[in-house]
Chains A and B, each alone.
Chain A
Amino acid sequence: MESLQPESAVGEAQRVMNICNACRYCEGVCAVFPAMSLHRAFSDHQMHYLANLCHNCTACYHSCQYAPPHPFAVNVPAALTELRTETYEAYAWPGFLGRLFRRNGLFVSLATALALSMVLALASVLVDPGVMFAEHSGPGSFYAVISHGVMVAVAGSTFGFSLLALSMGVRRFWRETGAFALARPMFSAFRGALKDMATLQYLGGGHKEGCSPRDEGRSNQRRYFHQAAMWGFLLCFASTCVAAFYDYALGRVAPYPFFSLPVLLGSIGGIGLLAGPAGLFWLKLRSDKIAMPLRHYGMDYAFLALLFVISLTGFLLLMLRETAAMGLTLAVHLGFVLALFLTLPYSKFVHAVYRFAALLRFNAEKPEKSRPATVA
């Protein structure tokens, strides 16, 4: 009997997937199982793809007749989460930075501390204390503290590098997870993947009532908090893009009034980035640690905490921007934002990129007709 678990993450994931492929009871639960049932055997790269289709929602674990203490010890969310974390390291660019995923909580914390102290140190060296702690108002007040040129140069170069690193990673992920037969046109697959991402339907447990991270009950809490975090992030990103457009195309200089588009987008997004990460953090604290292996929580906690403080300091800045505390608040906020940009390709953020690639592949590969069923 194959009850001994292989030592490598990919070996364990393959062992588990072979059992699942002979069972298929979970085919209605999420995307992993229909994607699995298109194959009879799983290469390492195919497993990397399947690992990134998994959200470790734990619905399959609680439905599993082979879950521990059964000797087959099938724990799909744990096996795929273990492997998924390895894929983040394996596909990282440049390759040697992949090891930053190993103690990711520590890395993101240190990078944040470094970015924050760098910004504060630079501000204290470069900015006259009289300016730093003076009240400013009107267009250009931010740039009185930290010059427009420095802000654009630092943010642009770190964000630019991060974008490059992310695209190199996902490019390799896309290529190596295999040639596959297209069952539908790519644009339709793209639309499908966007819809899957927008609705987070695979956190719904197959019945849309959601999966509780704590036990076999149903709850959409995780889905809603994840929605808040994702949409919050996208709205804040949109706010930044609109602000850049205002600045460069319209010549309108920040800060913008309360009811301007950048502030509105940033505020709504910011609420999402407070509620989402805080909620996800809270759910993680209460989750079932067997189905959701504890050792990867560092990465999740660090990323969630960073998003939360960026939003929090953003709101502080909005409230204090006409006071003498503006200079310091701005420096702190920008320090956290810089940390996010720096760590983007080596933090939990990569989940968004690889998951979208995996969903795109899933939608492109998905046949119209369903497959044979197993019957007890």
Chain B
Amino acid sequence: MIGGGNAGLCAAIEARERGAAVVILEHADRSMRGGNTRHTRNLRAMHADPAHTLEGSYTGEEYWQDLLSVTEGHTDEALARLMIRHSGELPGWLYEKGVRFQPALTGTLNLARTNAFFLGGGKALLNAQYRTAEALGVRVCYDSEVKRLNISRGRFSSAVFLNQGNKYEITARSVVVACGGFQANESWMREVWGEAADNFIVRGTSYNRGAVLKDLIGKGAETTGDPTQCHAIAVDARAPKYDGGIVTRLDCVVFGIVVNRFGQRFYDEGEDSWPKRYAIWGRLIARQPDQIAYAIMDSKVLDRFMPSLFPPMTADTIEQLASDLGIESGALTRTVDQFNASVSTGSYNPEILDDCSTQDLEPPKSHWALPVDTPPFYAYPLRPGITFTYLGVKVDEQARVLFQGGKSSPNVFAAGEIMAGNILGKGYCAGTGMTIGAVFGRLAGQHAASAGER
């Protein structure tokens, strides 16, 4: 198993339970193990009846429609439906492996029906998975960075990895690659995004540098997804380059206006409810000059969204705020005045798609438009925060990697973010990443074990 996150652990447990001797090569040390799983919180699962962790019911068809709508059809239907079918087994299977869930949450994001939340979050899930895997006899090698796979015509024979400066080669009957995307590889990101990539913040682990992905592509693995596609949200520009996780995200966009460094608005902040829109804002900001934007709001709405890591910047006037942000103050004042003048009065209600919108303004703000007029004024600087890239290897229904000509590999399997692009060609649906990891991790582990029997 290459990569010790959720997908790798699910694969390791399944393979070991089928009698295979399993070694996990994990790039990070023990304290930072688990890749992006460490920063996750939930998975999306279909279910017919309410359960301890999930409210109501969420049919496979509804799940499929949700996926279809966020990806706008950029998804492999057979694999997506396979994932949805197996998603229903996950809460029970993970529980058996020691993972505990929170009772159904009833928050404003309305995810209690569709998403099962791990008690204590992704790191608690990892702790349980590692303990289960180790008790079964899975061997875990930390600090082990895989540099290269020896593959000829789609058949794997060994992997070369570095551990504390020493190079090792490990042979195995089969391999599962579950080591994520390439968002933490600055030079690869620059190849795809140009200099803009320098201003991206990587929300998760700094270990996902895509070395194995690149190696597989070089050895003839078929790829899926557009290299620019990724899960990217708006994060606080003051966040660290890596590993800032959940606390740097900002939920304030719908409560004010968002401008670029020239003080101009560039997208409808109130287009739809935040859970349906948060994942597009990373890409929107990535296309703005210098990849920076500012959410501007007044004191009326400051307490309406979840607190985040950094306090907002504040000033008594828009002019002062603009000068603190380094925006030409005339420009910001004009934008705010114009916005305020176009707001029509309606009945404000952040819980629904209300009727507070702008008139004759481009771009409009379709809902929750309130004038920005009550000092003090507040601003949060925003940057694109990348969770993971979607470019990955193509797989079949047994999680086997497809090599040139669409031929399934006899013993190379992939699971998790490295193959998420098969299902997520575009957009995002909260909790899908972990579902892909767990479902394809389990499939990869099951088939890798039998591929090794011969």
Contact surface of A with B, Cβ cutoff 8 Å = 1-2, 18-19, 21-29, 40, 59-60, 62-72, 206-207, 209, 216-217, 369-376
Contacts and interface: CB of A to CB of B under 8 A. Distances in A.
A118 B4 CA distance: 63
B120 A29 contact: yes
A371 B107 contact: yes
Contacts of A70: 32, 243
Given A28-B119, A64-B123, 16 more contacts: A2-B310, A18-B309, A22-B246, A28-B102, A28-B120, A62-B124, A63-B120, A63-B124, A66-B247, A69-B31, A70-B32, A71-B243, A206-B100, A209-B100, A373-B109, A375-B430
Interface stretch (B39-47, B81-89, B190-198, B436-444): B39-47
B41 A374 contact: yes
Contact of A27 (B38, B102, B243, B245): B102
Query: Taking each of B203, B239, B306, which has the highest tally of chain A beta carbons within 10 Å of its own beta carbon?
Result: B306
A373 B118 CA distance: 12
Contacts of A22: 246-247, 306-309
B103 interface: yes
Contact of B246 (A23, A206, A207): A23
Contact of A374 (B127, B240, B246): B246
Contact of A21 (B41, B115, B203, B307): B307
B303 interface: yes
Contacts of A18: 307, 309
A21 to B, nearest CB: 5
A206 B119 contact: yes
Nearest to B308: A22
A371 B117 CA distance: 14
A38 B102 CA distance: 19
A110 B309 CA distance: 46
Interface centre among A67, A371, A373 (most CB of B within 10 A): A373
Nearest to B275: A375
B381 to A, nearest CB: 14
Contacts of A207: 100, 119
Interface string B100-114: 101101111101000
B356 to A, nearest CB: 21
A66 B245 contact: yes
A69 B30 CA distance: 11
Given A63-B124, A216-B127, A375-B275, A23 B245 contact: yes
9 contacts: A1-B239, A2-B309, A18-B309, A19-B247, A23-B245, A28-B120, A63-B127, A65-B121, A373-B41
Given A22-B308, A63-B121, A375 B111 contact: yes
Most buried by A among B115, B117, B122, B245: B245
Interface in B196-247: 203, 238-240, 243, 245-247
Contacts of A63: 120-121, 123-124, 127
B249 interface: yes
Nearest to B239: A1
Contacts of B238: 1
B107 A370 contact: yes
A149 B103 CA distance: 58
A156 to B, nearest CB: 48
